[in-house]
Amino acid sequence: MYKFNKHIVIIPLACLIAGLGIGFWIGRNSKDEIISTKVVRGEIVKGSVRIDTFYIPADTPSIIADYVSKHDFNYRLFDNNFGTFDLSIATQYNRPVLIDYNYSPLYSIKTIDRKNMLTPFASVSYNTLGYIGVGGGAFYKNVGVSLQYTTDLNRKGLGISLMYKF
């Protein structure tokens, strides 16, 4: 008759719990950050201001002709990393009649991707020869190491393996 030995269950279970705890702690503290910045042009803001005019009498016909004529002025106030701001002013009767503006802002979007440099894992196995196993390990980038406690309830042993992720 086979006598059940509680150490066969307790030792692998304790190793599994300790391995999970250590792997969780190491995995949370080993992050590789990739920072990327993308510049996006924002929505164009347009507007205009209409100013009412009034008439003032003038002396000579040339002054009157210049006074009555409409003049348009276009300015680009800035075009830099904040965006583009264009200003158009129309004057008549020596007064501003219409002020149009276009503002096209630029936004920087910063993206931070965090990748785990060290990825822990746990494993449980059974095969057709009657062996059961409990183990764990860690992957560092694409290369991993695994340690496994294997038993068939009569014989016990440790297995170590080296792995590579494709």
- What number of residues does the chain have? 166
Other C-beta atoms closer than 10 Å to the C-beta of 139 total 19
Query: Which residues is 96 bridged to in the sheet?
Result: 91
- Map residue 142 onto helix, strand or coil: coil
Structural domain span for residue 146: 7-30+117-164
For residue 47 the two structure tokens come to 């507007």
Q: Are residues 123 and 105 in the same domain?
A: no
Name the DSSP letter for residue 131. Answer: -
Q: Are residues 49 and 70 in the same domain?
A: yes
**CA 57, chain centre distance (Å):** 64
Name the percent of the chain lying above pLDDT 70: 83
- Map residue 34 onto helix, strand or coil: strand
Q: Are residues 23 and 68 in the same domain?
A: no
Q: Are residues 108 and 44 in the same domain?
A: yes
Cα separation, 60 vs 87, in Å, equals 32
Nearest-CA neighbor of 146 among 126, 160, 133, 165? 160
Per-residue pLDDT tens digits for 133-158: 888 888 887 888 988 888 887 888 88
Residue 1 falls inside a structural domain: no
- The residue with tokens 């969780």 is 24
Q: Are residues 60 and 107 in the same domain?
A: yes
**Which pLDDT band, with edges at 50, 70 and 90, does 27 fall under?**
low
Residue 43 falls inside a structural domain: yes
pTM for this prediction = 0.41
Predicted local distance difference test score (pLDDT) of residue 53 = 59
Task: Tell me how many domains the chain contains.
Answer: 2
For residue 27 the two structure tokens come to 């995995």
Q: Are residues 76 and 20 in the same domain?
A: no
